[in-house]
Amino acid sequence: MDNAERNRKRSGSSCRLRNATPGDAGAFYELIVMSSPYFETLFGRQGAVIFQSMFRRTGNLFSHEHVIFADVEGKPAGMILCYGRRTKQFGDIPTALHFLREIDFETLLKLPLILKSGTAVGAVKKGEFYISNMAVYSDYRGRGIAAELIGCAALRGRQEGAERLTLEVEQHNDGAIGFYEKCGFAITGDARLSVGEEKLIYYMAKRIK
């Protein structure tokens, strides 16, 4: 076991952090759609097949290798998907190829939209450790689980030599923005994301101590 297991952190709900396994694919898809609802807009019914398949595999940006789960009483309560610059550099092409193998003709027609969305989110610069997705099931919110997951991501980033945690959040999501600010993140920029409708997203970053 690595640090996600050895350095268990506990909230008042007996939250236990652990490395994801391929068997978590179903919960992973549920949670990733909570964190990024536009995935359903882009991939429709195929989304569950595509993302669970990639999660079970290694060597891509949605692999279980990059996911930490939080369990409460033995059940998944939340997860965080995070990785550094090197993982991003070597994972982009395998991830794109997997999408192309799996998508049907209807989804293929959305490829320009998918590529456009990819230019607005997901960049990882030198010294950064990127939080791609994070979500906690509604029944477990308010127990400090999200903060525990961010702390574990910071630990991984520090071990890789990263200096900053980074993420994106939609402008209208005041609750998430306020939470990230309490965790030490600050807005560093913005961009427009067009997925069905145009959205403004904020880039946020936090120094890793």
In which band, very low, low, confident or very high, does the pLDDT at 122 lie, cut at 50, 70 and 90?
confident
Instruction: Give the residues across from 91 on adjacent strands.
Output: none
**What's the domain count of the chain?**
1
Taking only the tens place, the pLDDT of each residue in 97-113 is: 887 777 665 665 555 55
Are the beta carbons of 113 and 42 closer than 8 angstroms? yes
For 71, residues 6+ apart whose C-beta sits below 8 A from its C-beta are 15, 16, 17, 18, 77
Q: Calculate mean pLDDT across residues 40-66.
A: 89
Residue-number span of the structural domain to which 36 is assigned:
3-207
Q: How far apart are alpha carbons 206 and 76 in whole angstroms?
A: 26
pLDDT category at 45 given cuts 50, 70, 90 is confident
pLDDT grade, residue 65 (50/70/90)?
A: very high
Q: What is the pTM of this model?
A: 0.86
CATH number of the domain to which 27 belongs? 3.40.630.30
